[in-house]
């Protein structure tokens, strides 16, 4: 009888130390920042202490949506305006099926700290996963009630100049609209205006694809934590493809242009492929990498800073326009006139 009791006791200890699904997802999200966040000081925050603070809230979580909301609030404590956690529904809404990377570690590598018991004797979620409520499972993929996060791209033709406004560099809709506009109008177009004003940026991949419509090359490097800067080419890269158009290009920028949108404007300017009109961009050029969780949720990690292939980064200083025009009502007019003056 005694050996059986010992065996049952050992099994009970092992079960108690096995993390439940919520606790495991928490440790995955926490470790991504610990290992991959660009700033090794975590923007002056104690990431271990933040992890302990939010780990203690796990016993109160009873749905996957609640967990992802908790994780997103934890990421926002970094105050970098880039790193976020998206539930499966929000990932579909924001990223629109964009590619993301697998987690850079195995679940077996995670060793979550032993959580204390929650009040009223409830088991910690590291031992038993909380029961799911009706909101625990992601909504259907084609949920008709899901609205758009970003404004749709706008394409117009004025005085022979094609004007394309992109609201973001996350979804593929803007890229598709730009490529379609070039195919439709390029034969008769006098030039293009790419309106990036207010564009918050997005993915380095989308930045490289949009740049590839107008140029090819290796205009960027990503300065990452603990590794040599990684060169980043346009898509298509040089020697493999060629741009869709070489006609004159003006890019409109302002202080609302961030992240990958700054990298796009800066690369087109440095390559002398575009003339920039407007005001200086935000100077907030973290490079964001999306990491996939098994259920379709995504962690967005600021794991590097965008920079020109040579020279200082745009971080903290932004991209300067070639023509400073502070009046938004006059910026588009100036862009069209610049192109017409070349004919």
At 8-59, the pLDDT tens digits run 444 444 334 445 999 999 999 999 999 999 989 999 999 999 999 999 999 9
**Peptide bond connecting 133 to the previous residue in cis, omega within 30 degrees of 0:** no
Element (DSSP H or E) covering residue 261: helix 259-270
Q: What's domain 154-340's superfamily in CATH? A: 2-enoyl-CoA Hydratase; Chain A, domain 1 (3.90.226.10)
Asked whether the predicted pLDDT for residue 4 surpasses 90, the reply is no
At 68-127, the pLDDT tens digits run 999 999 999 999 888 999 999 999 887 776 778 899 988 777 765 554 333 333 333 333
Instruction: Return the pLDDT at 227.
Output: 67
> Rounded CA gap, 88 and 97, in Å?
11
> Rounded CA gap, 160 and 150, in Å?
28
At 119-162, the pLDDT tens digits run 333 333 333 333 333 333 333 333 333 456 789 999 999 999 99
Query: How much is the pTM?
Result: 0.76
Query: b/e for 172-187, b at 16 or more Cβ within 10 A?
Result: ebbbebbbebbeebee
Query: What is residue 202's three-state secondary structure?
Result: strand
Take residue 131 and report the two structure tokens written for it: 């029961």
CB 315 within 8 Å of CB 112: no
User: Can you give the residue ranges of every domain in the chain?
Assistant: 154-340
């Amino acid at each position: 009888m005694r050996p059986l009791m010992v065996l049952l006791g050992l099994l009970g200890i092992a079960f108690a130390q096995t993390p439940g699904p919520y606790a495991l997802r928490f440790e995955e999200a926490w470790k991504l920042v610990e290992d991959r966040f660009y700033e090794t000081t975590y923007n002056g925050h104690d990431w271990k202490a933040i992890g302990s603070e939010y780990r203690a809230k796990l016993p109160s979580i009873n749905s996957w949506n609640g967990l992802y909301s908790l994780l997103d609030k934890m990421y926002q404590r970094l105050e970098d305006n880039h790193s976020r956690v998206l539930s499966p529904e929000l990932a579909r809404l924001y990223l629109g099926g964009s590619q993301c990377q697998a987690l850079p570690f195995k679940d077996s590598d995670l060793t979550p700290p032993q959580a204390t018991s929650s009040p009223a004797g409830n088991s910690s979620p590291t031992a038993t996963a909380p029961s799911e409520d009706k909101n625990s499972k992601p909504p259907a993929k084609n949920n008709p009630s899901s609205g758009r996060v970003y404004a749709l791209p706008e394409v117009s033709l004025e005085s022979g100049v094609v004007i394309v406004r992109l609201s973001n560099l996350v979804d593929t809709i803007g890229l598709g609209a730009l490529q379609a506009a070039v195919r439709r109008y390029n034969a008769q177009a006098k030039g293009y205006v790419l309106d990036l004003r207010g564009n918050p940026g997005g993915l380095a991949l989308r930045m490289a694809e949009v740049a590839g419509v107008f140029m090819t090359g290796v205009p960027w490097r990503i300065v990452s934590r603990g590794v040599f800067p990684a060169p980043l080419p346009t898509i298509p890269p040089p020697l493999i493809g060629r741009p869709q158009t070489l006609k004159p290009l003006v890019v409109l920028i302002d202080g609302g242009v961030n992240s990958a949108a700054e990298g796009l404007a800066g690369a087109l300017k440095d390559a002398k492929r575009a003339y920039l009109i407007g005001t200086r961009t935000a100077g907030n050029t973290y490079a964001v990498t999306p990491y996939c969780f098994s259920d379709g949720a995504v962690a967005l990690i600021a794991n590097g800073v965008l920079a020109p292939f040579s020279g200082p980064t745009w971080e903290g200083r932004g991209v300067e326009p070639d023509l400073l025009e502070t009046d938004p009502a006059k910026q588009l007019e100036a862009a069209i006139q610049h192109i017409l003056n070349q004919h």
